[in-house]
Chains A and B, each alone.
Chain A
Amino acid sequence: GAGVSQSPSNKVTEKGKDVELRCDPISGHTALYWYRQRLGQGLEFLIYFQGNSAPDKSGLPSDRFSAERTGESVSTLTIQRTQQEDSAVYLCASSLLAGGKWEQYFGPGTRLTVT
């Protein structure tokens, strides 16, 4: 079946511009996550949505970052006034309960380059 999809796959933007990244989770997955991965580094948790509960925003690095999710479907991550240090791959994942444990599946990511 269809996996997690993300768009765009690549985004080049000028410093100071706003960008919006999109994630379409696997249908039926109630939980959705955003991560950031800088070149050669590990995954950095950003935000987590679970059903209709209030999102866990504890990983957002600054108030320039925000995310929304409509119900249990698409999510958008918005970065305002982009800075060069925002350059990274932004990964979205969704998860479901399988065999008594949650399993997480990733999209291909959006590679953001801020010039």
Chain B
Amino acid sequence: RKEVEQDPGPFNVPEGATVAFNCTYSNSASQSFFWYRQDCRKEPKLLMSVYSSGNEDGRFTAQLNRASQYISLLIRDSKLSDSATYLCVVTMNTGNQFYFGTGTSLTVIP
């Protein structure tokens, strides 16, 4: 079983739409949680950390549900520039072993 699972999509949404991605993880001992963004033919970049209390950064909101072992990312008022692959990442053990999901592809359509 994979450590981290994501729906690969693709998600195709119109500009201005709200879109949500979910990710599940298998190890209840997972310590830290992140969302990364990867543009086509570019390296992944840290988008935001995910905290148990939930956290918001502008149009982006991340939530963690430890009991159900899933994390989510909500994007409001989608922009064309949000088109990318979103990677769910968890860490284990000492906190610096990273496990990446295969990513969810988002295309925002004009």
Q: Which residues of A does B touch, CB under 8 Å?
A: 31, 33, 35, 41-43, 45, 48, 50, 56, 91, 93, 95, 97, 99, 101-109
Residue of B nearest to A41 (CB): B102
Is B81's CB within 8 Å of the partner chain A? no
Interface-forming stretch among B16-24, B41-49, B57-65, B66-74? Answer: B41-49
Show the binding face of B for A, using Cβ within 8 Å.
31-32, 34, 42-46, 49, 87, 89, 91, 95-103
Cα–Cα, bound, A56→B42 (Å): 25
**Nearest opposing residue in chain B for A42, CB measure:** B102
Q: Judging by beta carbons under 8 Å apart, are B42 and A104 in contact?
A: no
B42's nearest neighbour on chain A, judged by CB, is A108
Report the Cα distance A102→B99, complex, angstroms: 12
Q: Are B103 and A42 in contact (CB under 8 A)?
A: yes
B44:A43 contact, CB within 8 angstroms? yes
Q: Is the CB of A50 within 8 A of B96?
A: yes
Give the distance in Å from the alpha carbon of A31 to the alpha carbon of B96 in the complex. 8
Listed from nearest, the 8 A-B pairs whose CB atoms lie closest are: A42-B102, A106-B43, A101-B32, A102-B96, A43-B100, A102-B95, A31-B96, A106-B44
